[in-house]
Each structure stands twice: as structure tokens, then as C-alpha cells.
Structure 1
């Protein structure tokens, strides 16, 4: 899935908040994404900035070409989410290209990377609030077996299992959730997790390579 983020190459993102916004004096940095150096920027005067990354990362990002704080990279990959909504996600790092190649579900290490690396990745499959709202409502009502809220304060709901099981579960909700069930992402891969958070739906499954 190394082509997943290829469109980012050479682009400049301003990751000062949950979405791209202007900043008076942005700090520019470089992130290694899908084997390419990508220029990003963030606001050094942002409130609570130091809450987003560890002292180890503060030292690490002072030098080297790959010097963007991990939260800046994560924001650039998930511009539709707030920092709280990003809680379930970590940066998936590829050792061969020594770069970030996407996001996954899991705990983060001191550099924002997935603490327990896996072969899975998360891909946005729907960004209409109707699907996410339908899944959240079904989880609250307990009408779909296996669909539950994550206990991390992100507001995310998740369902995991085989692609066939998840497609059936989402189809039973109907409406926009049924549209997600028909996504080609769910058709490929045996083990899948579908996450609805912040009005967006992600499918996380094992990669092909």
C-alpha cells in the first residue's frame, strides 16, 4: 500500500490544528512519507503544543531531515479529525523505506509510531456523517453484535471480524452504513476493523505487501 500516500509528495501542509489553517509564523519541517520527503508546517505557539509529543521526540526532531513531530504528520494524514478523535490511530512505519506509509489502530510509541507494528493499515472509506452517525447510534442501542464504543475518549465506535461478517452487520443498519458495507475495501482481506469517528468511517485491514 505504499502508493496510498504518494499524492503527498512535494506538497506543503499546515498542520496547526485539526484542519489546515493559516499561522502567523509557521515552523516548517520535513516528514518522510511513502518514501518521499514531504514539507509540512505547524504553529510553534499553539496552546498545549508540548502535550502532543514526548521529550524524546522533542530532542529527536531538532535535527535530521525527517524532523516533523509525529502529531504534525498524523494531522496531515487525518485532516478531518480532531486530536481527540485521532486517539485510536498510530503512524505505520515501514523499515525498508524508513518512512511513514499510513495509519493503523493501536498504541503509539514515543515517536507516534505503532507500538506493536502489524501489516494492517487504515483507509478512509466514507466521509459522509450519515454513515458514522448510523454506526454510532447502533452501538449506543446495542442493536448490532460486536459494534462498540472505544473506551479512549475519542468517541469512536468499532467493529472487527471477517469482511463478510462486517458487511452483513453494516448492511443490517441500513442507509449510509449499508453503502459502507459495499465498499471494495471490505471485500478484500479476511480480517477487518471498521471505525467510525468524527463523521468519518475507516476500514483497517491487513495489507497485501
Structure 2
């Protein structure tokens, strides 16, 4: 026999046993390449408070963005830790009022790139094998291609050089080439940066992985309403130049 009162009391007991953290989450809005997204995050997580200014708390970034920069950066790189995200920043398109994506470079207190450009990074498809040996290959590649190799915090290695050369090296290490694009002929002397981080390789340029004729991997982005995981941001970002740019 169905008894409404007993049923209601049972539901109340279940609800009381659930974690209270859902009630403590803050809902925020952001925009990535013109797509409006909504996330939930714990405002007490270290690092989040520092990536949201008082102006943004009151009015939002350009009147529309209310998420701390760290929440947006985590949404773009959900498979990385905050330490591995250290070299990345957020490229903001002021005209379109949207984030273009994550890019390499120095960032301000809200994780926005200090140098505004239309560059962003894409994870390369099938690049786990490449990431495992990229650090050892980087120094040799820097000498061969006249490129720049930089070791960041948390073991992140970035190499900047000709797109065709870097693309060919990555394909040889396990990355996937775009079908039908004759890498060297199409790309010419275009310059890209390849980043080995967190068991993956990201290619950064104004057209992402395509600039090196590489296929980009499907990005497991956080879904609207999903909680961005909490972790401390690294303190300081020591940058050691392994092979200086000639």
C-alpha cells in the first residue's frame, strides 16, 4: 500500500544524506568561440578567487562572462592538471566578446593572455606516443630546425619552429596527419609551437593543429553545468631555456 507521508520522509532522509556541496556551488557563464556555456564551480577552491577580479564579479567579462578564468581554462583542458595548465593562457576576442581558446604565453591575474592574437592550441590526435619522447626529441629538433625549445614547470616542453618540420616529426612519433594535405608543400615556412604536456601534444597557432597538417583529437570538454575540478595553481612558472633561439 502506497503511503505518501512515509514516501516523503524517505526522500527527505535520502536528501539529507547527500553531500551538501551542490548547494555551495556557484553558477557562472562563459563563451568559447561564440558558444555560450554555463558551469558550476566551488568558489572556495584555491586559485579560483585569484582568477576573477572584482569588476568581473560585479559585471562579468565584457558584460557576459561571469566565470573565473580558471573555470574556463579547465573547461578547455579538462584532461590536464592545473600545474600542467601553467604555461597556457586564455585568448580573448574583444570584438566578438568570446574566448578563442587556450594558447601558450604569459597571462594576467585573470589568466587572459597578455599578448592578444588569434592563436589557440589543439590537442593532436593519437599523440600519446609522441608526447612520451617529445622532450628527448626537442633538443635535437631545435638544432636541426633552428627552433626554440622551452622547459616549463611540471615537465611541460614546448618547441617553436617551422610547421612542416614539426608536423613531420610528430607524425613520425605517432601523431596523425590530415588526409590529403601535402604537409611541406601546403605549409611552407609557417611557424607553430608544439607542446608536450600531460601525456599529449598540443599544436598552437592561429589555426590550431591544422597549421602543422595534423588531425586534432576530439576534445573532452566539460559539459554545461558540470563542476570544474578543484586544484591549486602552481606558484610561479619557472621557465628554463634549453636551446635558445639563434
- What's the TM-score, normalizing by structure 2? 0.61
Alpha-carbon distance in structure 1 between the residues aligned to 2:58 and 2:101: 23
Pairing 1:205–2:202 present: no
Match of 1:53 in 2: 51
Q: Distance in 1 between matches of 2:170 and 2:35?
A: 36
Paired residue for 1:95? 94
Matched-pair contact (CA < 8 Å) for 2:156–2:197 = yes
Q: Per-residue deviation at 1:40? A: 1.0
Query: Structure 1 residue 70: deviation in Å?
Result: 0.1
Separation in 2, partners of 1:196, 1:147: 14
Higher RCO (CA-CA < 8 Å; seq separation 6+): 2
Deviation track 1:179-199 (CA, whole Å, cap 9, x = no partner) reads: 35x357994651111111011
1:34 maps to which residue?
A: 33
Kept in 2, the 8 Å contact 1:149–1:155? The answer is no
Give me the whole-angstrom Cα distance separating, in 1, the residues matched to 2:70 and 2:182. 28
Q: Structure 1 residue 60: deviation in Å?
A: 2.0
- Size of the alignment, in residue pairs? 176
> What does 1:76-91 correspond to in 2, within 5 Å?
76-91=75-90
Q: CA 1:137–1:126 in 2, change beyond 3 Å: closer, same or farther?
A: farther
Residue 220 (structure 2) aligns with: none
In the superposition, relative to structure 1, how do residues 165 and 31 fare at CA in structure 2: closer, same or farther (>3 Å)? same
Distance 1:186 1:59 in 2: 48
Deviations 1:93-141 (A, max 9, x none): 11221111211111112322110112321111136532211212434xx
More strand by share: 1
Question: Post-superposition, which runs of at least 4 consecutive aligned residues in structure 1 deviate over 6 A?
Answer: none
Cα distance in structure 2, aligned partners of 1:127 and 1:63: 41
Distance across 1 between alignment mates of 2:198 and 2:101 = 19
Deviation at 1:71, TM superposition (A): 0.4
The answer to whether the Cα contact below 8 Å between 1:85 and 1:198 also exists between their aligned partners in 2 is yes
Tell me the secondary structure at the aligned position of residue 107 of structure 1.
Answer: coil
Distance across 2 between alignment mates of 1:32 and 1:42 = 16
Residues 35-79 of structure 1: CA deviation (Å, up to 9, x unaligned): 232101111232x2357426xx14422444411000000000000
Structure 1 position 157 matched with structure 2 position 157: yes
Provide Cα deviations, 1:149-176, integer angstroms capped at 9, x if missing partner: 42x31311121111122134435xx442
Instruction: Find the aligned partners of 2:49 and 2:28 in 1 and give their Cα distance.
Output: 19
Greater C-alpha radius of gyration: 2
Query: For residue 166 of structure 1, what is the aligned residue in structure 2?
Result: 166
Secondary structure, counterpart of 2:132 in structure 1:
helix
Whole-Å separation in 2 of the counterparts to 1:121 and 1:71: 16
